[in-house]
Amino acid sequence: MRRFLLLVSVILAAAGALVLSLAVSPWWWCAAGPLLALTALGAWDLVQTRHSVLRNYPLLGHLRFLMEKLRPEMQQYFVERNYDGRPLPSMRPVKVPEDVPTVRVGGPDCTAPYDMALLNVSAMSFGSLSSHAILALNRGAALGGFAHDTGEGGLSEYHLRGGGDLIWEIGTGYFGCRTPEGRFNGREFADKAALPEVKCVSLKLSQGAKPGIGGVLPGAKVNAEIARARDVPEGETVVSPPYHQVFTTPRELVKFLALMRELAGGKPTGFKLCVGSRRQFLAVCKAMLAEGVTPDFIVVDGAEGGTGAAPLEFADHLGMPLTEGLITVRNALVGTGLKDRVRIGASGKVATGSDIVKRLIQGADYTNAALAMMFAVGCIQAQRCHTNTCPVGVTTQDRRRVRALDVTDKSARVHRFQRATVKSAVQIMAAMGVSDPTDLTTGMLVRRLDPTTVTPYAELYEWLAPGELLRQPPASWDADWRAADPDTFA
């Protein structure tokens, strides 16, 4: 309870000064007045619902706002963002459309297509986030009609309580649909995938902040609720392996996706990855062609993406940044003639309308945001996610700290953030002369290479034509295309 030490000290001092001012000398009012005012402020901090940090740290929390003026955490986030590309305004803008566009996700084998918003809540598990944070994100998604990815930590009661549309993600731990030995449990998966809140199912292969490694949830965080959501023993440290047991080759991966879609009753099924080797991704495309099976969506996560916890070397040095990963996946799908069947999602420091527009131009059909959504539910980047002492109740499982996060207030913020950001994207597109995102072209984004050279993306990168890899692969793709084997990732 050290969090309340300052308030308690102020209350005791105020009481002392009050007694002295009545019993000894009225001069004590000079001390009692300010101390009583501070006591009232501390009491207000405890009951207000707008700032979680003040609810958890009455009085002391005000220092945070002072520090923010010196070095705002949002500013730090934005400064570190990748200013990759500048959308070009048109000399003939169009009227901003009344209806916000959505993207239909669901290829030929999907029987329950889903209309995805241009910006959604990216995967973050219950466990890495608190119950209130999950609930606020989910209610925000329900208010705004966008999707909320569960993350790989299972489908918890908090994901289901807010009424938001869910993308249920499973990772290498198959949490929420696993046998006691940690293997995939198809029957449990089918039962949960049938829930009406689950609109899509997703297989996580890797994530930008830590490609190639699994995750660890410390035993201290594995309370009864988390254990229930994940199908794991309470209080024991949970480890997700670095690789999947359900497939060893690109062909097996594609077949497993087909099985997932079948078990999910035909709901849109996809996978998420941080792109590594282009040849491996082409091997997966070859497997899709050979098996006649395509995922309904692929989410490309940039190496710049965040996480609750990742070794610094992995976070900083592995995987393709979003621009390269996105363009690789777009080209591979277009070049193999598969793009019409597969939607591409993009995540990695998406926080503004122009971020959305840039990613759409680079090949995405929609975007997801994790860190920006965490800011919306009150994250102040205290960077204590792994210690269970998050000061604003976002990443802790400590009930006393979680209560500081007011779900009603924060879900409204999540809703407003998503709505304003998408609206801004739509306004930017209108200024570019585009009312439908599918009319965006790679010539509409430019990058300054040096003080005198500004180059459009159409020239900066290679953009494959539909079916080009099948007809005549360009020289730059030929070696990878020929080496790609649907029966091995080697």
Nearer to ligand FMN, 286 or 413 (CB): 413
Phi, psi of 273, deg, nearest 5: -150, 160
Nearer to ligand FMN, 128 or 354 (CB): 128
The residue number with the shortest CB distance to ligand FMN is 305
Token pair listed for 447: 């990058």
Residue whose entry in the numeric block shows the structure tokens 């930017």: 428
CB 263, min distance to ligand FMN, A: 20
Contact footprint for ligand FMN (CB under 6 A): 122-125, 128-129, 151-153, 169, 204, 207-208, 272, 301, 305-308, 347-350, 369-372
Beta bridge partners of 114: 105
CB 334, min distance to ligand FMN, A: 23
E strand or H helix at 247: none
Nearer to ligand FMN, 247 or 477 (CB): 247
CB 203, min distance to ligand FMN, A: 10
Nearer to ligand FMN, 319 or 335 (CB): 319
CB 371, min distance to ligand FMN, A: 3
CB 253, min distance to ligand FMN, A: 16
CB 206, min distance to ligand FMN, A: 8
Half-sphere exposure of 144 (CA within 13 A, CB side): 30
Cα-based torsion angle of the residue sequence 178, 210, 126, 404 in order, rounded to the nearest 10 degrees: 160
Nearer to ligand FMN, 379 or 426 (CB): 379
Quote the CA–CA distance of 148 and 155 in Å, as a whole number: 11
Nearer to ligand FMN, 127 or 335 (CB): 127
Phi, psi of 308, deg, nearest 5: -70, -40
CB 69, min distance to ligand FMN, A: 25
Token pair listed for 381: 């980047």
Nearer to ligand FMN, 36 or 379 (CB): 379
How many other CB atoms are found less than 10 A from the CB of residue 314?
18
E strand or H helix at 263: helix 250-263
Nearer to ligand FMN, 18 or 371 (CB): 371
CB 342, min distance to ligand FMN, A: 18
Token pair listed for 343: 């939607």
CB 27, min distance to ligand FMN, A: 53
Half-sphere exposure of 403 (CA within 13 A, CB side): 8
Quote the CA–CA distance of 180 and 178 in Å, as a whole number: 7
CB 367, min distance to ligand FMN, A: 9
Nearer to ligand FMN, 207 or 336 (CB): 207
Nearer to ligand FMN, 4 or 77 (CB): 77
